[in-house]
Amino acid sequence: MAHSAQLGFQDAASPLMEELLHFHDHALMIISFISVFVLYIITAMATTKLTDKLILDSQEVETIWTVLPAIILVLIALPSLRLLYLMDEINQPHLTIKAIGHQWYWSYEYTDYEDLAFDSYMIQTQDLTPGQFRLLEVDHRVVVPLDSPIRALVSAEDVLHSWALPSLGLKTDAVPGRLNQTTFIASRPGVYYGQCSEICGANHSFMPVVVESVPLSHFEDWVTFMAHDA
């Protein structure tokens, strides 16, 4: 969950998000180095004899500023491609959830369980109880078991939506007539908040996503309760 005056990302709650944070820090260090180095060169050219013709026409300098950027691009590309592969890898998920976007709410189906489906609406401000978050709480949360690979199938019924959960490293477009899939593992128990990240109409900012990660025994109790309640 984000907090006031926060500058960085939310705390990672999945192995994938941890990898994304590491890659962000890796790329940021390279960008910072380049920025400082270029600033130094510009300053040196304005204040010293670096503008000497013998230096500017040097074959060695031209070789360096051609080869060095290529090496830097490789250092960024390799971990980036690895991450892209990990984000697309779905290997024997323990649970499959279908998330369908509507104007303006989400509906969910647990495809491994018969008749386990529900709609998830944002709780209006006047109905909030103490401790709940305005514009983020929903009447029915998505409950998932802890430390289990989860596959999410994301689609939409009317217009483009986006199913996004920053703490879990998820952001998947919901496209009408198409199923997009993503995977995640919640590595610690808790409640994780997200929102539709596609401008989908007048109430775009009022269709939050809430995922609650619980131990397996609690998840089985929840499934039993939902089946009995249905």
pLDDT tens digit sequence for 15-28: 889 999 999 999 99
Give the N- to C-terminal CA distance of the chain in Å, as an integer: 31
What percent of the chain has pLDDT above 90? 60
In eight-state DSSP terms, residue 148 is: -
Greater confidence (103 vs 11) lies with: 103
Check: CB of residue 15 under 8 Å from CB of residue 185. yes
Radius of gyration over alpha carbons of the chain, in Å? 24
Q: What is the mean pLDDT of the chain?
A: 88
| Tokens matching residue 92 | 């024997």
Check: CB of residue 229 under 8 Å from CB of residue 210. no
- The SS3 of residue 17 is helix
Confidence of residue 1 (pLDDT cuts 50, 70, 90): low
Read off the pTM. Answer: 0.83
pLDDT recorded at residue 27: 92
pLDDT recorded at residue 64: 82
Greater confidence (50 vs 195) lies with: 195
191 burial type by CB count under 10 A (0-12 exposed, 13-18 middle, 19+ buried): middle
Confidence of residue 194 (pLDDT cuts 50, 70, 90): very high
In eight-state DSSP terms, residue 92 is: S
Check: CB of residue 166 under 8 Å from CB of residue 159. no
In b/e form, how buried is each residue of 69-102, taking b as 16+ CB within 10 angstroms? eeeeeeeeeeeeeebeeebeeeeebebbbbbbbb
Neighbours of 54 (CB within 10 A): 7
